[in-house]
Amino acid sequence: MDEPKWVSYFDKIWFLVFLLLTFYTVFQDYHGMNFLVVGLILNNIFDAYMGVVFSNGLKRHYYIVTIIGCFVTAFVKFQYDLVGGVISALIGAVYAIIGYIEFEDTITYTDKHDLKPLIYNAIGGCILFFVLYTYIVEDKQNIVLIIGNFLVFILGMLARFLLIRGKSASYIFFIIVDIVTILVEIQTYLIKQNNDVIVILINTFMLLVIDSKACYIWQKKAFEHKQQQQ
């Protein structure tokens, strides 16, 4: 199963844009937001690396990178939004652990696996989401963020579930997840009366690149597993 050309193109473009944006944010003070921009880039790099090391069976590295990634996210957002940093760190950690358990379990027991673990994990994660947002975030405008993150979580779990089984429909779900995530990001900055479009564009681009790479990695893993079974 060869890597699709569009994935390799994304990799090259991502590397070039990463270098340009890094230099831009280091040498240009973009209304005091350069730290946030660099932090978002670093966080996305950790996310991408996390998928690579995990797909290669490096479980210990996966846990280490997951923890580092969550700390980077929290530290960056602490500079911008204390509550948002705490919530992001907690949800990021839970989501990563759930993803790890689900991925390993499905790859190991593809033919015996059913929907129950996925449903239980999704319900548990959603409860955590609503508890955090309801009791920590008091701003009623954040209902958009609650619904948006809820959809991202559910669709993300479903997309991963389909990817692991080699279903092409998973690409559609990942696209939907990206769109919803982008809308949530935009709404976040609108609520905070912050019009830093460059931050939204960076996050959008990184999401598309990383998800496209993750699609290939996970689907290839599922394909190889099925080949071994035959």
Give the integer Cα–Cα distance in Å for 222 and 165. 6
Q: Break the chain into its structural domains and give their ranges.
A: 5-225
Evaluate if residue 67 carries a pLDDT over 60.
Answer: no
pTM over 0.85: no
Residue with tokens 């479980």: 59
Residue 1 has pLDDT above 50, yes or no: no
Question: Quick one: pLDDT at residue 23?
Answer: 54
Let me know: does 188 contact 145? Beta carbons within 8 Å: yes
Of 40, 82, 5, 83, nearest to 204 by C-alpha is 40
Given this model, what pLDDT does residue 180 score?
58
Rg (CA), the chain: 18
pLDDT tens-place string over residues 98-119 = 555 555 554 444 444 445 555 5
Is the pLDDT score of 80 beyond 60? no
Dist CA 187 CA 117 (whole Å):
32
| pLDDT tens sequence across 117-156 | 555 555 555 555 555 555 445 555 555 555 555 555 555 5
Of 52-61, 177-186, 211-220, the least confident = 52-61
Provide the pLDDT for residue 58. 46
**pLDDT at position 124:** 54
pLDDT of 224 over the 60 cut: yes
For 114, the token pair is 């059913």
Higher pLDDT pick, 172 / 56: 172
pLDDT of res. 195 = 45
Looking at residue 118, what is its pLDDT? 52
Provide the pLDDT confidence category of residue 177 given band limits of 50, 70 and 90: low
Q: Which pLDDT tens digit goes with each residue over 196-223?
A: 555 555 555 555 555 555 555 555 655 6
Query: What's the confidence (pLDDT) of residue 147?
Result: 57
Instruction: Give the pLDDT confidence of 2-30 residue by residue, as tens digits.
Output: 555 555 565 556 556 655 554 554 455 44
Q: Quick one: pLDDT at residue 157?
A: 58
| 87 in Cβ contact with 133 (< 8 Å) | yes
